[in-house]
Structure 1
Amino acid sequence: MAHYVDGYVVPVREAQLEAYRALAEKAGTVWREHGALQYWECVADDVKPGKLTSFPQSVQLKDDEVVVFSWIVFESREHRDTVNAKVMDDPRMKDMMDPASLPFDGARMFWGGFKAIIEM
């Protein structure tokens, strides 16, 4: 059975990385409690600007920022939709996601849902 993955790329100020990590850990707990199979948050370690496109260019990375690449694994798109609805209704998420207090620039974040075609 192929899984479904939501992927996210977000710029985070290096000075806010620990605050982002703490927020992501709380959010990941909520997603897992509501049924997500896996929750990953990864900070860029070896990403360079490209000639046409790259992770840094995709989020218009500033000098004091780092790219964070994240993904959440679900059983299927339908499962993702069910889990995400529960997550968005969870009061813990509402408390965490006030745009004024987020430790990242949500306007430059991008995301999407992906159906797995190979799993090894």
Structure 2
Amino acid sequence: MPFLDITVIPVPNANKAAYLEHSAKTSPFFREKGATAVTETWGEDVPDGKLTDFKKAVQLQADESVAVGWITWPDKATRDAAWEALMQDERMAGMDMPFDGKRMIFAGFELVAEN
């Protein structure tokens, strides 16, 4: 069953190109370890919610946008092994993130329906 790692990230608007460059550099590492796809999106229509929303979830600042991304894995076992290996990979260790990683939301999800 496919497994997804999903992130919600506040990215300074001035860092959009750096964010996309970061993704372009790291995506091959995920694919080397078994990912079937790496997807990045940039918030264009992110409404304010009454109780919560994407902006509140990441404490979005006025000069930032919400980016949502996901990595598709064939299954959770492949994902778990990949992350274990990637955390030891020197190529990943030396990378600067063009966003505030402390406000990033991330989680793994089992795909249960695709209609």
TM-score, with structure 2 as normaliser: 0.94
Aligned: 1:110 with 2:110:
no
Deviating above 6 A after TM superposition, structure 1's stretches of 4 or more consecutive aligned residues are: none
**Residue in 2 that maps onto 1:27:** 26
Aligned-residue sequence identity (percent) comes to 38
Q: How many residues get paired?
A: 115
Contact residue 34 and residue 74 of structure 2 kept, 8 A:
no
Distance, in Å, in 1 between the alignment partners of 2:41 and 2:5 is 14
> Can you list the C-alpha shifts for 1:24-83, whole angstroms capped at 9, x where unaligned?
111111101111111111110111111111111110111000000010111111111011
Distance, in Å, in 1 between the alignment partners of 2:56 and 2:40 is 19
**Residue in 2 that maps onto 1:119:** 114
Distance, in Å, in 2 between the alignment partners of 1:29 and 1:45 is 26
Aligned: 1:8 with 2:7:
yes
Q: Which amino acid aligns with 1:56?
A: K
> Can you list the C-alpha shifts for 1:59-115, whole angstroms capped at 9, x where unaligned?
01110000000101111111110111122222111111xxxx421011100110101
Report the 3-state secondary structure (helix = DSSP H, G, I; strand = E; otherwise coil) of the residue aligned with 2:21: helix
Aligned: 1:42 with 2:37:
no
- Aligned-pair Cα RMSD in Å: 1.1
TM-score, with structure 1 as normaliser: 0.90
Which residues of structure 2 form unaligned runs of 5+? none
Distance, in Å, in 1 between the alignment partners of 2:60 and 2:74 is 33
Which residues of structure 1 form unaligned runs of 5+? none
Distance, in Å, in 2 between the alignment partners of 1:103 and 1:44 is 16
